Structure 1
Amino acid sequence: MLADTPDGFGRYYLAQALSTLGKHEQAAEEFKAAGKQGFEPVHCTLRRAGEIRKAGNLEEAEKLIRSTGSEGGARLAEYSYQMGCAMFDRGDTFGAIEYFERAVDMDPHHSQALFSLAFQNALFGNDEDAIQLYERCLSKPPYYLGALLNLGLLYEDQENYPAAQYCFERVLQQDPTNERARLYLKDIEATSDMYYDEDTLKEQHRLEQLLNRPVTDFELSVRSRNCLAGMAIETLGDLTEISEQELLSGKNFGETSLTEVRELMDAHGLTIGQNLHEKSREPDVAIRDMSPQEQQLLSAPVSDLNLSVRSRKCMSRLGIATLGELVQRTPDELLSAKNFGVTSLNEIRAKLGEVNLKLRND
């Protein structure tokens, strides 16, 4: 429809359409043509620089951005935004953020600068600021689907499920084939079916406090105390994660001490070894039996996988810091974590597959 447009206005919006389709070299030419035909020449030059940068020529793009300074370009929000993008591509994240903030100061409705700032705030864990910035980004057209998706994920992390659902549904209205939005929406629907009973939560909290109580809080014989200390058993929780046979194998720990510990546990509604199945598992293969390359791979931090914000937060909630700890988890264990759905599981599987690893039982 716009391909044969004769005026700068039409060429400008043709350039925007080409950019959206990822045809950056063609978009750059159309922005150039729009500027030559008198449609905001400086702004078009800056937009052209952005397309050249996306096409992979950062040096030329930065040179073109700076060339507009003598024409008043430095006073435009678009100038600061494009400089921020160039800084980011050079690896200067904080320099980029300064330029994005300057762009928003100049134009509070600069959608792309707001999006970039929101994205960076989310990466640094500033969720509240990120939400506000994404909301501002979406306060007027054009509405970026990426902003809606990211905002939905942040709402979900804050358990604002109706708002998250609204975001994902808006994406699907505009793009019914968007698989990410469809999967995220399924996660939301699954979460909304969960019911947490307040009394159950209180009981869980009481049990956690009980299991964390040190054994020294209770009356035990000196022999029993010394035996438990020798086996590094410090809390009632530790006693739920060891078998009676293991206790009896301890030095000087006999039937008398075992009976004493049984009575202590019974008095508090607990039994020895009741949580053995939850005890931290040992790796299937000892690290010492692995090659140096395998040891290095499993010791690598999960951050090396470049996971999405949602998956990184789930790893943090589960206390998973290394690839070795991650591959010891089963898919069901990961899915039991808050806000960890099928989408995140598939991402983890794909990322592990790239380094020839997989989850336990996969």
Structure 2
Amino acid sequence: MARRGKKKGRSVSGWVILDKPVGMGSTEAVAKVKWLYQADKAGHAGTLDPLASGMLPIALGEATKTVPYVQDGAKVYRFTVAWGEERSTDDLEGPVTRTSDKRPGEDDIRALLPKYTGVIMQAPPQFSAIKIAGERAYDMARSGEVVDIPEREVEIGRFDLLEMRPDGSTVFEIECGKGTYVRSLARDMGRDLGCYGHIAELRRTEVDPFTPEDFVTVPELELARFGEAGQAAWEEAGKPLLDFGAIDDLLIDTGAALECLPQVALSDDAAHRIRLGNPVIIRGRDAPVEAEEACATARGRLVAIGAIEAGMFKPKRVFAG
């Protein structure tokens, strides 16, 4: 008996800039968005812990090809550090491992911030998704194993103290590069201040090139998908899930992820040749002559990512028209 093939999803493409709620994992969020759009492909640009909220850029269809460019973008986090306890997970999820009665003053904290600004070396948390000998660090840590995770270089462009709260916790905001662990900052600062610390609240507010104006929530997506009556009433009425107009309107164009690259506008003929994998000569007075990576468009739509050599665009990754 022949096996049935897996049902193919829609070939919808674009970015959903999800305002992920606390309690939802990144994988769960991607699965939810993929289902709502009935998309054939989906992925995210940077894991956000279940206890964290905020910006989780989710790519659908052709946008999955642009994920690395968003992953490399600068990120902004707002977070609260609770002093006096260090925890195994460096956030509220894990048990307390160290305690202190000492609480830091504002001047002490501000004096410490320059140490954590710029290019620094950072040891990721024991409970992290980093792979050690092919195994996730959090899986090893959950089994009771002490994980030796080497320090690595990260960059923090801005580190601001926003508020000293009445309960003794401190609110910060940072702008940082790829691979920075905010939980590690709370842990290391707590040790430097001699009082220990862990993340009590964490929210990612920006992932370049996206901003808070791009946010969409799960309820907003569900409303666009099923209307005021909601999913249950839709399914009870036996309505086919075919109308995607309202939810598709919430997508951000795939090419938005490539604003960091030089932009090359092509004619329809040149775009056709590029989609066949052929190089084309770039015309125009302001056209770049050399670029390791550039983005080619036609009529405002993304055509390809490629290199420019001696005034010729050579495609490396082509997008469906």
TM-score relative to the length of structure 2: 0.20
The structure with the largest strand share of the pair is: 2
Look at both structures and tell me which one has the larger radius of gyration over its CA atoms: 1
The structure with the largest helix share of the pair is: 1
Kindly indicate whether structure 1 or structure 2 has the higher relative contact order, using CA contacts under 8 Å at least 6 residues apart. Answer: 2
TM-score relative to the length of structure 1: 0.18
